[in-house]
Structure 1
Amino acid sequence: MNRNLLVTALIATAAIGSSFAASAQTNAAATTQRDVKQEQRIENGLRNGTITARENAKLQSDEARVDRLEAKALKDGKMTAAKRAQVTEAQNKASRDIHTATTNGVNGNPLSASSQRAQADVQRNIGQEQRINQGVRSGSLTNREAATLERGQAHVDAREAHAGADGHISAREQRNIQHAENRQSARIYNKKHNAAVKD
C-alpha cells in the first residue's frame, strides 16, 4: 500500500514539474513572438515613412530594454509570474511608443539612405527574433539559451539606437551593426544546434 502511494506521489510530482516547465517555455515563446510583432510594426512604419530614423533609434532603445528584461527573466531557466509581468509592462510601453511614433504626424523619407539602412537592420532583427522564437517553440533552445540570445539581441538593438540617435545612420555605423548582427546570427545557430535540450 505504501509503495503504491509513493509511486502515485512521484508521478504527481513529475507531472506538476513538467507543467511548470511547459508554462515557462510557453511564456518564453509568447514574449519572443511579441518581440517579432513589435519589430514588424517598426519596420512597417519605416517603410511607409510614419517612423523616422531618429524615432526608430528610440524604439530600438525600448526593444533593447525588453530584450534585457527577457534575458534576466529567463536566466535561471524559469519565467515567474513577477518576471513575466515586468517583461509585459516593458513590452506594453514599447507598443505605446510605436503607436505614438506612427501617429504623431512626424514623417520620414523611407527612401533616404538612413531609413533604408534602418529598414535593413530592423528586417534582420525580425529574422533573428523569429529564429529564437522558433527555437523556443521547437525545444531546440532551452530557456537559458534563449536568455543568452535575448541579451545578444539587446546588444544589437542598443547599437542601432546609438547609431540612429542623431537621425542619421552612416555606412560605417551600419557596418558596425551588421558585424554585431552576424555574430548574433552565429550564436543563434550554435545554440540551436548544440546538444542542450529543452528545460
Structure 2
Amino acid sequence: MKNVSRLLLAVAGAFVFAGAHAADTATEVQRDTNQQERIEQGLQNGSLTTKEAGRLEQDESRVDRTEANAERNGNLSAGEKARIQRDQNQVSQAINRDETNGAHGNPDSASSKRMQADVARNINQDQRIENGVKSGALTNRETGKLERGQAHDDHLEARAARNGHVGTGEQRHIQMAENHQSNKIWNKKHNDVVR
C-alpha cells in the first residue's frame, strides 16, 4: 500500500511540476503578445516610426531566441525565466523610450501599413502559441521550436524596416515566412504530442 501511495504522490508531483512550467511558458508568451500589441499601437497612432518598430522587432527577435533556447530541453529554469524577464523588461523600456522620444511616424503611409500588418500577424501567431500552451496541445519543447520561428519572422521584419521603409517585395518575403510559421504552429498543436 505504501508503494501505491508513493507512486500516486510522484505522479501528482509530476503533473504539478509540468503545470508550473507550462504556466511559466504561457506567461512569457503572453508578455510577447503584449509587447507586440504595444508596437502595433505605436505604429497606428504615429508614436513609433517604421524604423523604430523595426529596431523593436529586432529586440523581440532576441527575446524569442532566448525563450527558444531556454525551452530546448523542455524545462524553464528559474535562471532562464529571470533572464527572459530581464530581456522583456529592456524591450518594454525601449518601447516606452521610442514612443515618447518626439519622433512621429505616418500611420497612413503604405510602409507603416505593411509593418502594422506584419506586427498584427505576430500578435496572432503569439496568441495561437499561448493558447496551445494553456490547452496542453503544445509541450514546452514544441513551444521553444515555435519561438525560434517567431524570432526568425521578427528578424525579417527588423531587417525590412532597417531603412525606415518596408517595400512590397520585403513584405511578400515576410508573409511567406509567416505562412510557413503558421503551418508549423498548426502542425505542432494538432500532432499527438501533449504535455
Task: State the TM-score, normalized to the length of structure 2.
Answer: 0.98
Q: Distance in 2 between matches of 1:6 and 1:139?
A: 29
| 1:12 to partner: Cα distance | 2.1
Verify: 1:133 aligned to 2:130, yes or no.
yes
2:37 to 40, 57, 67: 40
| 1:192 to partner: Cα distance | 0.7
- Which residue does 1:49 correspond to in 2? 46
Q: Distance in 2 between matches of 1:29 and 1:124?
A: 19
Percent identity of the aligned residues? 50
2:59 to 54, 62, 65: 62
- Which residue does 1:150 correspond to in 2? 147
| 1:45 to partner: Cα distance | 0.2
Aligned-partner SS, 2:166: coil
Q: What is the one-letter code of the residue matched to 2:43?
A: L
Q: What is the one-letter code of the residue matched to 2:151?
A: A
Q: What is the one-letter code of the residue matched to 2:62?
A: R
2:28 to 31, 54, 74: 31
Q: What is the one-letter code of the residue matched to 1:31?
A: E
- Which residue does 2:165 correspond to in 1? 168
| 1:73 to partner: Cα distance | 1.1
Give structure 1 stretches of 5+ with no counterpart.
none
Aligned-partner SS, 1:12: helix
Aligned-residue CA RMSD in angstroms? 0.8
Q: What is the one-letter code of the residue matched to 2:47?
A: T
- Which residue does 1:5 correspond to in 2? 2
| 1:48 to partner: Cα distance | 0.3
Q: What is the one-letter code of the residue matched to 1:7?
A: V
- The count of residues paired between Structure 1 and Structure 2 equals 195
Query: Radius of gyration: which is bigger?
Result: 1
| 1:5 to partner: Cα distance | 2.6
Aligned-partner SS, 2:145: helix
Q: Distance in 2 between matches of 1:153 and 1:78?
A: 19
| 1:76 to partner: Cα distance | 1.0
Aligned-partner SS, 2:138: coil
Q: Distance in 2 between matches of 1:81 and 1:53?
A: 35
Q: Distance in 1 between matches of 2:190 and 2:44?
A: 34
Verify: 1:14 aligned to 2:11, yes or no.
yes
- Which residue does 2:114 correspond to in 1? 117
Task: State the TM-score, normalized to the length of structure 1.
Answer: 0.96
Aligned-partner SS, 1:78: coil
Q: What is the one-letter code of the residue matched to 2:25?
A: A
| 1:9 to partner: Cα distance | 2.2
